């Protein structure tokens, strides 16, 4: 990538969407139960770049989430980078998980990545109904931004 894109944008750490999903799956599989997985997901959220407070408003809010969730996107060198945050620790972790998969990818790659991996990882089933719906709403908001 020619131009450096820095905070608050989440940088890809895995070479592709598929590699990111596989790595998350492997990391979650290291834990025996969902309480430990939740702690791991919360830690992922703590690692998010700081989200500017001036973006924590209705214009950046993701509808369909019980907690407050904010997203912003920036296009650079043909890739779409995302910044995100939530007012709830577990939801911040889910934001981090989604941005690990989607941020820094081409619009086509983002659009082609169905959030069914959230079900395949067991996340939607393990979360409350509202949180499961919320994480799916976040994924749809990310994909909608790629279509814009």
Q: Which residues are catalytic?
A: 65
Residue 122, helix vs strand vs coil: coil
Q: Is 147 helix (H, G, I), strand (E, B) or coil?
A: helix
Cα-trace Rg, the chain: 14
Place of tokens 């919360």: 42
Determine if the peptide bond prior to 8 is cis (ω within 30°): yes
């Amino acid at each position: 990538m020619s131009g450096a894109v820095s905070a608050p944008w989440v940088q890809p750490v895995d070479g592709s969407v598929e590699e990111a999903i596989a790595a998350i799956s492997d990391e979650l599989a290291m834990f025996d139960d969902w309480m430990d997985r939740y702690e791991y997901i919360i830690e992922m959220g703590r690692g998010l770049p700081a989200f500017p407070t001036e973006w924590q408003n209705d214009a950046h809010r993701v509808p369909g989430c019980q907690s407050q969730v904010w997203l912003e996107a920036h296009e650079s060198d043909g890739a779409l980078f995302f910044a995100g945050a939530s007012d709830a620790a577990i939801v911040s972790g889910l934001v981090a998980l989604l941005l690990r998969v989607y941020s820094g990818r081409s619009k086509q790659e983002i659009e082609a990545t169905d959030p069914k991996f959230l079900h395949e990882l067991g996340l939607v089933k393990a979360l409350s109904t509202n949180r499961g719906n919320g994480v799916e709403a976040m994924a749809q908001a990310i994909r909608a931004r790629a279509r814009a």
